[in-house]
């Protein structure tokens, strides 16, 4: 397993589920003010789950990206604006071909202030979608970093894994980020 993300003084943490964590990680690694992105699991009952367990849908965990960001450089509002833009928050337990509760849309907040920002952001985003947003907004629970080979996945595999070019690269393009 990868190490827990380090949170420097003054930085904040937010945990987001937007389908496959490889996609979520690739997007948020490029956002100015985001200091680190760690792929992992949250929201389930099994302690220290493995990728195979989570993919099997037996843990209750979502694939998530835990972001550590500097609020002096970027705001949670800006991070969440990107979150709504790069995935479909109206589809329950599915993003593209990835289906199951592990791919659910979720915001795991770490403070009450973040919860308020997330709720307001969701209300604002709802105006942009024709279907209701199904994103859960839940208090963060234990975060379990994914196995090492899931970290920095797109950066390390973009020319080797067809999934990267077929699924992740279009998300980056949609967000106006370099592929």
Q: Just list the catalytic residues.
A: 20
Residue length, the chain?
179
Per the CB < 8 A criterion, the answer to whether 102 and 61 are in contact is yes
Single out the residue of 39, 56, 40 nearest to residue 48, CA to CA: 40
Residue 33: which region, alpha, beta or left (left: phi > 0; alpha: psi -120 to 50)?
Answer: left
Cβ neighbours, 10 Å, residue 99:
14
Structure tokens given for 60: 């209750």
Helix (H, G, I), strand (E, B) or coil at 102: helix
Q: What share of the chain is helix, strand, coil (3-state, %, to 5)?
A: 35, 20, 45
Distance of CA 50 to the CA centre of its chain: 18
């Amino acid at each position: 397993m990868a190490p827990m993300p380090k949170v420097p003084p003054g930085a904040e943490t937010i945990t987001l589920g937007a389908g496959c964590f490889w996609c979520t990680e690739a997007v948020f690694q490029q956002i100015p003010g985001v200091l680190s992105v760690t792929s992992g699991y949250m929201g389930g009952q099994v302690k220290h789950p493995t990728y195979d367990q989570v993919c099997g849908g037996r843990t209750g965990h979502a694939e998530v990206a835990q972001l550590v960001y500097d609020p002096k450089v970027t705001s949670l509002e800006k991070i969440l604006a990107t979150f709504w833009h790069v995935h479909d928050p109206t589809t329950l337990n599915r993003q593209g071909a990835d289906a199951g509760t592990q791919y659910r849309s979720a915001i795991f907040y770490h403070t009450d202030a973040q919860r308020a920002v997330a709720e307001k952001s969701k209300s604002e985003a709802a105006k942009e979608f024709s279907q209701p947003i199904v994103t859960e907004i839940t208090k963060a629970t234990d975060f379990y970093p994914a196995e090492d080979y899931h970290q920095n996945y797109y950066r390390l595999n973009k020319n080797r894994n067809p999934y990267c070019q077929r699924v992740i690269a279009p998300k980056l393009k949609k967000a106006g980020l370099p592929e």
